[in-house]
Structure 1
Amino acid sequence: MSLTHETSQTVRSVHVDASAVSAWKPLNGVGGIPGPATGFEQFPDLTPIWREAGVSVVRSFDWMSRLDTRDNPTSLFPDWAADPDDPASYNFTATDEWVEAVHAIGAEVLFTVASSIPKNKLPAEDIEVYGRVVEHVVRHYAQGWAGGPAKPIRMFEFGDQPDLGPLHFAGRPEEFYDMYAAFCAAVQRVDDTLIIGGPAVAFPLNADAAYREGFLAYVREHGLPLDFFSFLWFTDSSRDPLNFGYVADDLRRLLDEYGFTKTELMLCYWNYLSIPTSSAPSDEKGAFQVATAIALQDTAIDSAFFFRADSGRDPHYGMVDPAGVYGADGPDERARALILAGRTMTGQRLAVTGGDTSGFACAAGRDGDTVRVLVANFVAPASALEKRESDTFTFRIPIGEQRIELSLDLPPQRAELASAGVTSAHVSIANLPWAGRTVSLTQTALSGETSEPREARVSETGDLELDLAITPQSAVLLEVTA
């Protein structure tokens, strides 16, 4: 994808070369609750949307599948006085159903081991017993111990936002490090080829931090495995789709500096907004999603999970998360954004020019006899364009009666984020393999409208041209089928 910035141009030229083929990065992961399960019948079934979007992997952290460090009847190991070797000591039923639901749509599971936030954020009391319990949980999901799923899980992540302090981990960093070491040893006792990583840092740009430099130093010193380093990023403070690439570059530099040159970068959560008090229209959120999904393809990120690809109903915090894909009447533009991006990014990636750094983004792919061109026109709100006084963002998270104040370092503000005012696109596709043939064209909009199929003729040299209306805060998928 070529990037230009043409502030006076309201009509963009988008050029696709159907002969210039490359591979898509595997970034079509999600976080969310798949649907109803035993004891949790209130959750809607998201798997039809995930299947249509081609979701490839689901992160389990949002499930009730927490391994609490204190007694909790909903935990995977409810009673810490129980025998870790006895299958009857574990609570696998609902989690197994969610795993099976994910596997049924052909997706994998990234299994996250973390405590029952927000009820408990305490470190393990007995690290040896904790490791034995982790081992049996992993053995259940990776090898079928105690009636585990038939299809094994291969990826295991430790931790979730330990740098959120009292919100997610109320222990010392050294206690977290020791728990990671016990986790690694437990996973490797089961199968030393399983994929291991963590710690899902919330503030990935905050330098000289316990869960960045401190964590990496500990892992290096103790020779622990770190197949991936996970982090999250939301743009409440910037509304900038290119932030993710900036953060990834900083973390890639950091990992290489500490000698983790083969450790992959995992964006384990991403979305437009995350703070419960943040808000934006659903079409703005959807346009951002599509523009970001396109931009992520050209970053240092190796895997990514959109959070949260469900109704937003949070079983832990007792609220409806603004990061969901449901509106008052069900799935909205955010769910459709997930589907449009996922549908485009299958098969082979095709070369595209015509995007910019201001929210106008384009991507193209070919899957069998269908070529797809996806165009997004995200417009950052005026508040994101006002010059900010500091690149440190301070905010409060309301959790019940608590008001937790936190701060994170931001990427530099970009003047180029201001929209170029694009309203339409002239799309030209070159080198189609159907020269001189009639093809079928359909257009699907973020609003949910799908055009009736119409015919067009490819030129004798394999070219096809057409115009697309692309209003602000919208996205359009063009499908050309032989």
Structure 2
Amino acid sequence: MSNPSNTRTLVVDATAESAFRPLNGVGGVPGPVEGYEQFPDLTPMWREAGVSVVRSFDWVSRLDTRDNPTSLFPDWSADVDDPASYNFAATDQWIDAVHAVGAEVMFTVASSIPRNKLPAEDVEVYGRVVERIVRHYSAGWAGGPAKPVRIYEFGDQPDFGPLHFDGHPEQFFAMYKAFCEAVRRVDATLTVGGPAIAFPLEADAPYREGFLTFVRENDLPLDFYSFLWFTDGSRDPLDYRYVSRELRALLDAHGFADTDLTLSYWNYLAVPSSTAPAAEKGAFQAATAISLQDTVIDHAFFFRADSGLDPHYGFVDPGGVGQVDGQPDERTRALVLAGRAMRGRRLAVTGGDESGFTAIAGREGDRVRVLVANYVAPDSALAPRDEDRFTFRIPIGEQRIELGLTLPPQRLDLASAGVDSARIELKNLPWTDATVKVTTTTLGGEVVGPRDAIVSDTGSLQLNVDIVPQSALLIELTV
């Protein structure tokens, strides 16, 4: 029996409705295609999670700036206008797979990292190639997909030392200009943005302030400004609130008030040497998915919603979900439970905290759902910092590249309050004097119910649940 002092009361008001923010995007490889049979099929899980948009960056076919047989344009001496010069097959199949689960594609134009990080040798030719690729995916050129791609992102972590872009910022800016002009030539209504910076809190940086200045001075479109954030250095789900506020203020100050803020990738850990149990990662995922709803982020992509098998770096990425063979674990279920919870209309919930114990509720038709997360930050994240700085090493072959980034200020509130159970008080439910079915699903995969519960004549219901540290559960009520 739980200690009453460790029980938290959560109150759900079914009459206080609002909209969920559209933050259920993911990055990852959808599944096997000819030539790349090693990838498990993740699309059934994506469908169950209600994934709304998929970022293409981790797919094998990228637009390299040097000759590469797996690139979308393998040979830079080839005829730009000849469809036979392009390598669309695998990417076409992945786009069709994404569309088949009802999701959109955010197509990222970037080179084949880590194999090549060099800028384009001829920016004019580069722009012509980008145009043909966009025509293929958005206007049906050369047998493009039946459903057009509408969102294009340029770049991926150009500020990540020499690991992602080994050129001058001015060369990157010139490529962005060519990219924008190419997309405009195809369809001026397509959505464009970038540059997916890795270190968004580094002030007065070339790919932050410098990029925005270049875009403004050249009157280029920037429908969204994208960035990445992982919490290896903090383990704090509320990092995203702080970082997004900083970037929103930056965009507004530079005259980009109408530019959306896109979190291209988020997860608990990204550094290959970082480790944590799957249950801890899953609890963090659930708590963060909930907290993202109360940020100024307009679009978000969980990285990575696949097995973590990385076709470029040759290792299993710590950001994956499930096992390498596609078998689910707590990370997989966190993605699914959060996606199921945040459908329909959002309902007001009070009683959570800013230490990892948090909840969100929604109503979809005749179904009410409550997702509760109990993430506990590890002791290493609670030790006082000497400075708000995180340094780490990335292994690239024989190299060990050391990098560093600025962190949000350390929060004393991150320490867990030791909650292990919850009293969930639901009021103003859409049913009165009714028997409802209650089903509870945990991160561990246990499904309890359905069991009967009685809603009062005022539309109230009380549920008591145990929720141990490093866990999450989804409660679903149906008539």
Pick the TM interval, shorter chain.
over 0.9
Q: 1:6-54 deviations in whole A, cap 9, x for unaligned?
A: xx94110000001111100000000000000121111000001000000
Match of 2:152 among 129, 151, 156: 156
- The reply on whether 1:69 has 2:60 as its aligned counterpart is no
How far apart, CA to CA, are the structure 2 residues paired with 1:393 and 1:380?
A: 17
How far apart, CA to CA, are the structure 2 residues paired with 1:284 and 1:393?
A: 21
Counterpart contact for 2:307–2:324, Cα < 8 Å: no
- The reply on whether 1:382 has 2:374 as its aligned counterpart is no
- The alpha carbon displacement at 1:328 in A equals 6.4
Letter in 1 for 2:412: A
Counterpart in the other structure of 2:366? 369
- The reply on whether 1:251 has 2:226 as its aligned counterpart is no
Counterpart contact for 1:9–1:420, Cα < 8 Å: no
How far apart, CA to CA, are the structure 1 residues paired with 2:441 and 2:231?
A: 27
Counterpart in the other structure of 2:347? 350
- The alpha carbon displacement at 1:317 in A equals 0.4
Counterpart contact for 1:9–1:421, Cα < 8 Å: no
Match of 1:456 among 439, 450, 453: 453
Correspondence 1:74-223 to 2 at 5 A: 74-223=70-219
- Provide the secondary structure at the position in 1 that maps to 2:176: helix
Counterpart contact for 1:444–1:476, Cα < 8 Å: yes
Q: 1:338-395 deviations in whole A, cap 9, x for unaligned?
A: 0000000011100000110000010000011110011000000000000010111111
- The alpha carbon displacement at 1:65 in A equals 2.3
- The reply on whether 1:227 has 2:202 as its aligned counterpart is no
- Provide the secondary structure at the position in 1 that maps to 2:159: helix
- The alpha carbon displacement at 1:165 in A equals 2.1
Match of 2:425 among 409, 428, 438: 428
How far apart, CA to CA, are the structure 2 residues paired with 1:10 and 1:233?
A: 32
- The reply on whether 1:273 has 2:269 as its aligned counterpart is yes
Paired residues in the alignment total 475
Q: 1:419-438 deviations in whole A, cap 9, x for unaligned?
A: 00001000011001110111
How far apart, CA to CA, are the structure 1 residues paired with 2:449 and 2:13?
A: 25
How far apart, CA to CA, are the structure 2 residues paired with 1:422 and 1:181?
A: 52
Share of identical aligned residues, percent? 71
Letter in 2 for 1:458: V
How far apart, CA to CA, are the structure 2 residues paired with 1:452 and 1:207?
A: 52
Q: 1:282-316 deviations in whole A, cap 9, x for unaligned?
A: 00000000000000000010000000000000000
Correspondence 1:31-46 to 2 at 5 A: 31-46=27-42
Counterpart in the other structure of 1:413? 410
Match of 1:331 among 318, 328, 333: 328
How far apart, CA to CA, are the structure 1 residues paired with 2:383 and 2:5?
A: 23
How far apart, CA to CA, are the structure 1 residues paired with 2:463 and 2:265?
A: 36
How far apart, CA to CA, are the structure 2 residues paired with 1:389 and 1:416?
A: 18
TM-score, length basis structure 2:
0.98
Which stretch shows the higher mean deviation, 363-372 or 328-337? 328-337
Counterpart in the other structure of 1:471? 468
- The reply on whether 1:298 has 2:294 as its aligned counterpart is yes
Counterpart contact for 1:69–1:120, Cα < 8 Å: yes
Counterpart in the other structure of 1:3? none
RMSD: 0.8
How far apart, CA to CA, are the structure 2 residues paired with 1:346 and 1:209?
A: 38
- Provide the secondary structure at the position in 1 that maps to 2:351: strand
- Provide the secondary structure at the position in 2 that maps to 1:146: coil
For structure 1, the 5+ residue unaligned runs are 1-7
